[in-house]
Every structure is written in structure tokens, then in C-alpha cells.
Amino acid sequence: PEGVFKLPPLGYDYDALEPFIDAETMKIHHDKHHAAYVSKLNQAIVGAPGFEKKKIEEILINLGAVPEAVRKDIRNQGGGHANHSLFWQTLKKNENGKPTGELARAIDANFGSYDKFQEAFIAAATKVFGSGWAWLVWKDKKLVIDSTANQDSPYSTGGVPLLGIDVWEHAYYLKYQNRRAEYVDAFMNVINWPHVQRLFERVAR
Ligand code: MN
């Protein structure tokens, strides 16, 4: 059955990120994993009348308002939906591209340099124990690096996620198996910085 939350299209071909992220992983990740979060979110939202009219980000900002019986499901499935919706949009082969403009200046101001940002982002992604995400987040008028367990969203702790790396094994296991660090390094080649920059400019002014 059709639910109120929809699986957004990937927006590019499954093989668009090869060789850094393989086509098979992209297909299963988007068409199966993300689709399952959407489908289970649509089941859970039935238990929270009125919430189906809200944007998922809005719901995640204030999970305490969600009826307790479905709060955990909405946190997990809704987080999965929001996290992946952002993830697809922030991926594009960047040919060693780096942030520019206001975002580049903010990265320098908050982390010292792009290289220091990259080091910290990679360290955060590598350190997540089990399944979760590492993030570049706009919080308290600053850029910060954060990580969340499972499908928890930075929105739920007062941040706005600008970029996230999915370190669930389903995001890399087919190509990288247990070598998460290789996947994390490869990920730096598929960050769509112009998109991250647009998100940043939207929240930072
Ligand atoms: Mn995932």
C-alpha cells in the first residue's frame, strides 16, 4: 500500500560512484534498505495521528512529541528515511574537489583547515562502534563533527546534518567487506561539495 512517506529517487545511475562505491551496493542500499525504512515508517506513522502531515525532519527534531508506543519505530525508521534521503543527495564523484566559498571559510574557521576537517571526519567514521553514521553538522552556529548510533539523526540533538557517511555494513560490505577504513577513505572522493555548500548556506545565514 502507498504510504505518505515516499522513497525519493536516487537521482543518478547506480554505477555513478564507481569505483568508489559499487553499483550493486547502491542498488541494494537504495532500492531495498532505504525502501524498507520508508515502508516501516509508513506503518509506524499510523500510530501517531497527525504526524503524517509533518516533514520527517520536523518529527525528528522533537521525538518527545511522538506517542510513546511508536516513538522508537519512528526514531529508527524515520531516522533511516531522513538519513538516507540526505545521503543520496550528497554523493557525486568530485574529482578531488573540495569545499569552496563560505563553506570552505567555515571549515577553515572551525577545524583549522580542510585537511584537519578530513582527518577528524575520517576518524569519527572509523570509530563508530557497530552501525551508525558520522556527520558534519551545523549546531549552535558552528560546524561540528558528530556521530550517531543506528539511525539516530543529528536533528534529534539540535543539529542540522549537512553531510553524513553511512557506516552500516550494508553501505560497504559487498566491495570492502571488513575494511571500513578503505571505504571511508574512498568516500572522500564522492562528496558532492556544491550540494553540501547549498545546504550550509541555507542554514548558516
Ligand atoms: Mn544505509
pTM over 0.85: yes
What pLDDT does 3 receive? 85
What pLDDT does 15 receive? 98
Ligand 1 center to 112 CA (angstroms): 30
Q: Is 127 exposed, middle or buried (0-12, 13-18, 19+ CB in 10 A)?
A: exposed
What pLDDT does 5 receive? 97
User: Which has the closest alpha carbon to 34: 66, 5, 73?
Assistant: 5
Q: Would you give the DSSP letter of residue 191?
A: B
Ligand 1 center to 38 CA (angstroms): 12
Residue type, 4: V
Ligand 1 center to 99 CA (angstroms): 24
What pLDDT does 186 receive? 97
Ligand 1 center to 41 CA (angstroms): 15
Encode the chain (205 residues) as per-residue pLDDT tens digits.
568 999 999 999 999 999 999 999 999 999 999 999 999 999 999 999 999 999 999 999 999 999 999 999 999 999 999 999 999 999 999 999 999 999 999 999 999 999 999 999 999 999 999 999 999 999 999 999 999 999 999 999 999 999 999 999 999 999 999 999 999 999 999 999 999 999 999 999 7
Ligand 1 center to 170 CA (angstroms): 6
What pLDDT does 205 receive? 77
Q: Which residues contact 140 (CB under 8 A, 6 or more apart)?
A: 158
Residue indicated by cell numbers 522533537: 62
Ligand 1 center to 172 CA (angstroms): 9
Ligand 1 center to 122 CA (angstroms): 17
Residues 147, 153, 157, 161: is their CA dihedral positive or negative? Answer: positive
Question: CB of 126 within 8 A of CB of 145?
Answer: no
Ligand 1 center to 33 CA (angstroms): 6
Q: How far apart are CA 79 and CA 73, in angstroms?
A: 9
